Amino acid sequence: MNRFIAFGLFLLVASPAFASDQEFTVHQQMVDDRKAVVATIESAHQIPARARISGTLSLLAVKEGDHVEAGDKIAVVGDPKLAIKGQEFDAHIQAAQAAYDRAKIDFTRANELRQTGYGTQAKLDDARTNLDIAGHNLQAAKAEKQGVIQQTTEGAVLAPSAGRILAVPVSLGSVVMAGDTVATLSQGNYVLRLELPERHARFLKAGDTVEIGARGAQPDADEEIKTGTVELVYPEIKDGRVIADVEAKGLENYFVGERARVYVSTGQRPALLVPADVVYRRAGVEYIKLKDGTEVVVQTGQKLGDDIEVLSGLNDGDVVVNP
């Protein structure tokens, strides 16, 4: 007997108390037909940091995952031949300087003799010409040395922009040629790259809002949904798929190449929506109470804001009350 009393009390507690003062008339309306697709985290732009001279990698200052600013030194490429060339041009400069000093002395002497009347104008002109030639030779030798210094400076591989290092395909001591990639870095924020079937291309456009699921392999009914905006829809269809980039906040915490669930609109379809709070659950079954007091079993679908879609159990025009 006590068990029957306890069961009756359970029914009284489990049964919701309905308030008939809040009514809602169900009408069919058009909603976005959202599909779950897999997107990949990609860098908006990938820029290579290249070596400007050939040589051996003598310094490597970064690794994958490091953040760099524009102009930071990533690596240094050294060429021993440049040091030898530098010594050679130092010798050329010394010889050209000595020739210039000798020509200057000869010009000064020829000029003094010409002023005293013991020298001829022809010798003075020859001395002036020799001085000019020696001066030009000295400038050429210095310019050649400056060229070697510039080549040595270009051995430093600098970050072309701020970003995160994605790949370093070389190691310390590697031999690189001019133009070889020393590191690849991402420029700007990360984006979600979508690949949708060709039939959905006409429904997707820049500025559309998409929903992004929580990180993880398995979908969760209570997962936290974030929103993003379609930034770019690529005009070329590859392998029967249209590609689009989605911008969203918080993507900097993802790994490049990580996949995430994204819910995109692929058109519209008719649906019956009711406020989510009119649906109640009893014994694992979902119910909705009509205005006439009838309780109907319903099957619910996706939640859209404060409303929830009813897949079966209701008809257009039904009046439900809020329990």
User: How far, in Å, are 30, 103, 132, 167, 232 from residue 96 at the CA level?
Assistant: 88, 10, 12, 48, 62
Tokens of 152: 């040595």
Instruction: Write out the H or E segment, with its range, that includes residue 164.
Output: strand 163-167
Under a CB-based contact definition with an 8 Å cutoff, are residues 33 and 56 in contact?
no
pLDDT, one tens digit per residue, over 296-320 is: 888 888 777 778 888 888 888 888 8
**Measured between alpha carbons, how far is 68 from 70 in angstroms, rounded to an integer?**
7
pLDDT, one tens digit per residue, over 182-238 is: 999 887 678 888 888 888 777 888 888 888 877 765 555 455 677 888 888 888 888
Neighbours of 208 (CB within 10 A): 16
**Measured between alpha carbons, how far is 239 from 236 in angstroms, rounded to an integer?**
10
What is the per-residue pLDDT for 216?
Answer: 60
User: How far, in Å, are 116, 129, 136 from residue 111 at the CA level?
Assistant: 9, 13, 21
Show the domains of the chain with their CATH numbers. Answer: 49-77+156-186 (2.40.50.100), 80-153 (1.10.287)
Residues of the chain with pLDDT under 70: 1-21, 188, 216-224
What is the per-residue pLDDT for 7?
Answer: 37
pTM for the full model?
0.51
Tokens of 164: 């995160």
What is the per-residue pLDDT for 31?
Answer: 80
What is the per-residue pLDDT for 293?
Answer: 81
- Beta strands 23-25 and 175-176 are unpaired
What is the per-residue pLDDT for 106?
Answer: 87
What is the per-residue pLDDT for 18?
Answer: 39
**Measured between alpha carbons, how far is 39 from 287 in angstroms, rounded to an integer?**
36
What is the per-residue pLDDT for 181?
Answer: 92
Tokens of 186: 């991402």
Under a CB-based contact definition with an 8 Å cutoff, are residues 44 and 188 in contact?
yes
**Measured between alpha carbons, how far is 319 from 292 in angstroms, rounded to an integer?**
8
Positive or negative, the Cα torsion across 311, 314, 316, 321?
negative
Under a CB-based contact definition with an 8 Å cutoff, are residues 161 and 36 in contact?
no
**Measured between alpha carbons, how far is 253 from 8 in angstroms, rounded to an integer?**
53
